[in-house]
Amino acid sequence: MPHPPADARFTIDPDFAIGAVDPRLYGTFVEHMGRCVYTGIYQPDHKTADAAGFRGDVAELVRELGTPLVRYPGGNFVSGYHWEDGVGPAADRPRRLDLAWRSIETNQVGTNEFLGWARDMGLEPMMAVNLGTRGIDAARALVEYCNVPGGTAWSDLRIKHGVSEPHAVKLWCLGNEMDGPWQTGHKTATEYGRLAAETGKSMHQVDPSIELVVCGSSNAEMPTFGSWEAEVLRHTYDEVDHLSLHAYYEEKGGDRASFLASGAHMDAYIADVVATADHVRAVRRARKRITLSFDEWNVWYADRFPGERKLDMAETPRLIEDTYSVTDAVVVGSLLISLLRHADRVAIACLAQLVNVIGPIRSEPGPNGASWRQASFHPFALTARHARGTVLRTEPSAGPRLDTAKYGEVDALDSVVTWDEETGALTVLAVNRDQEHGLTLRAALRGLPHDAYAVVEHLAIADDDPDAANTEAEPNRVVPRRIEGAQVTADGELEAALPPLSWNLLRLAPR
């Protein structure tokens, strides 16, 4: 006999506010790695390329994805990058060996090309400076090149390069993953903290209006996690605005239950970093509260990656081009729920990366190369489009629990709600982590005129085959599907059936 769906209950109440959704929570990441830039966003010989050489088909998908912000140029790449190599006449730019990914970097795309593309796409840039092999002087010069209107050596050079108006980049990363032994120019927390503080001070002297992100731990499993954050903030607290976090998740050893509960790890990781930042704030008796920049996150099957030093040196190699399944998409949707659940402290987040390299978008090279949406594209695009306004806390009051090997017991239902106070619209994001059984979501509408609300739509990422994926041959194998039957009952309760192993979006609006 079929297993009857269990009920999972919570309350939707505008008084349960966590914080406003910062649109930068839906950021992404473009690194000079693999085919993210070349044959990803940029390919002058493609049939859809614009006058600057950027692919129109990929640009259309980026717009549909709904990201408002893109981090650039790295990533590990930035720790050996000389930004001066990527400006000026393209024919004069050097070909360099990128140590991070053992790739030949042609420098045909650099600061002005990327920032011009971002401007045309309506994207806010998040620029990183090299604190691996370089430091204060190169960083302050780049800010001057990008942000000073003119009348100085570096700003006048930008004008000479054909960019008369300043780029006005407001968000800057002070290096990347400097705690990682794999990083070119790896440093101790004290070494990095001192350098980041002095670099940030110099950058602020050029442009006092910029925001700075300082490197936290590369992941929560680093041996210096916690102590790294505390020591770095001890040096940089007065100069920086945000502290970075990075995390990637994958299914290991067939343990899909733990993989589906990855959001539980992200929640704990964020809570630990917040506690550390607030400890430093208390010790310093500071008024300013540091917010978080989760500027690398995604599903990445890192166990399949042989490691940087085992790569053959090549130009534009295919690197970590993972194909994402329904299960992967559900996890991506759940991680977005975790980020929203911490909207009071997570100001910025970047899905890494945008195209080809573990990206929600895939493309093929050649003049007629195709592009398509990965399964993970859909929960990101729909969340970015609809989860706006104020995040509401949704603590399950009842519902089944699942055992996982890595995270212990977790709720089968993972959910968050956003409320647009102006329109009254409610967006419910919900994941059913149970792989075998459906779940009946029941959410009481409290403090709202429930009799005036109706369900606009219920979309789900779910499939009889949880390993189904989109490919060039079948680009629409996995798409959001409409689920019928969701309703607001007469007693003011949202009721919806969630399929097994599914990500769900429900939109409610005043009638």
The pLDDT value given to residue 3: 64
pLDDT mean over 311-318: 90
Tally of CB atoms within 10 A around 324: 24
Tokens read off for 136: 């204060």
Catalytic residue, candidates 84, 105, 239, 296 = 296
pLDDT at 2 over 60: no
Please return the burial class of 45, using the count of CB atoms within 10 Å of its CB with bins 0-12, 13-18 and 19+: exposed
pLDDT mean over 290-315: 91
Tokens read off for 510: 């005043």
Give Rg (Cα) of the chain.
Answer: 23
For CATH 2.60.40.1180, the residue range(s) in the chain are 6-15+390-510
Are 128 and 73 spatial neighbours (Cβ–Cβ below 8 Å)? yes
pLDDT mean over 397-424: 94
177 classed as catalytic: yes
pTM: 0.96
Give the residue carrying structure tokens 């717009």.
63
> What is the rounded distance in angstroms from the CA atom of residue 351 to the CA atom of residue 323?
15
Amino acid at 328: D
Amino acid at 389: G
The pLDDT value given to residue 93: 98
Alpha helices (H) in 150-217, listed in sequence order = 153-160, 189-206
For CATH 3.20.20.80, the residue range(s) in the chain are 22-386
Tally of CB atoms within 10 A around 135: 18
With helix as H, strand as E and coil as C, how does 103-118 read? EEECCCCCHHHHHHHH
> What is the rounded distance in angstroms from the CA atom of residue 502 to the CA atom of residue 431?
6
Contacts of 202 (CB under 8 A, 6+ apart): 136, 139, 140
pLDDT at 163 over 70: yes
**Nearest in space to 55 (alpha carbons), one of 43, 66, 45, 70:** 43
pLDDT mean over 334-351: 98
The pLDDT tens digits for 52-99 are: 999 999 999 999 999 999 999 999 999 999 999 999 999 999 999 999
Q: Classify domain 22-386 at the CATH superfamily level.
A: Glycosidases (3.20.20.80)
Question: Could you tell me what percent of the chain has a pLDDT over 90?
Answer: 92
User: Which fold would CATH assign to domain 6-15+390-510?
Assistant: Immunoglobulin-like (2.60.40)
pLDDT mean over 30-34: 98
The pLDDT value given to residue 313: 87
At residue 106's C-alpha, the angle toward residues 105 and 112, to 5°, is 105
| 439-445 and 426-432 strand pairing | unpaired
Tokens read off for 433: 């982590």
| pLDDT bucket at 1, cuts 50 / 70 / 90 | very low
Q: Where are the beta strands (DSSP E) in 49-195?
A: 69-72, 96-98, 103-105, 124-129, 171-174
pLDDT at 503 over 70: yes
296 classed as catalytic: yes
pLDDT at 450 over 80: no
DSSP string spanning 361-402?
Answer: EEE--STT--EEE-TTHHHHHHHHHH--SEEE----SB--EE
Beta sheet of 439-445, edge-to-edge order: 6-12, 439-445, 493-498, 487-488
Contacts of 169 (CB under 8 A, 6+ apart): 115, 125, 127, 143, 146, 147, 210
The pLDDT value given to residue 309: 80
Catalytic residue, candidates 177, 229, 239, 251 = 177
pLDDT mean over 397-410: 93
Are 159 and 144 spatial neighbours (Cβ–Cβ below 8 Å)? no
Tally of CB atoms within 10 A around 254: 7
> What is the rounded distance in angstroms from the CA atom of residue 118 to the CA atom of residue 147?
15
Are 354 and 361 spatial neighbours (Cβ–Cβ below 8 Å)? yes
Please return the burial class of 111, using the count of CB atoms within 10 Å of its CB with bins 0-12, 13-18 and 19+: buried
Q: Which letter does DSSP use for residue 495 in this model?
A: E
Tokens read off for 206: 């050029």
pLDDT at 334 over 80: yes
> What is the rounded distance in angstroms from the CA atom of residue 172 to the CA atom of residue 28?
14
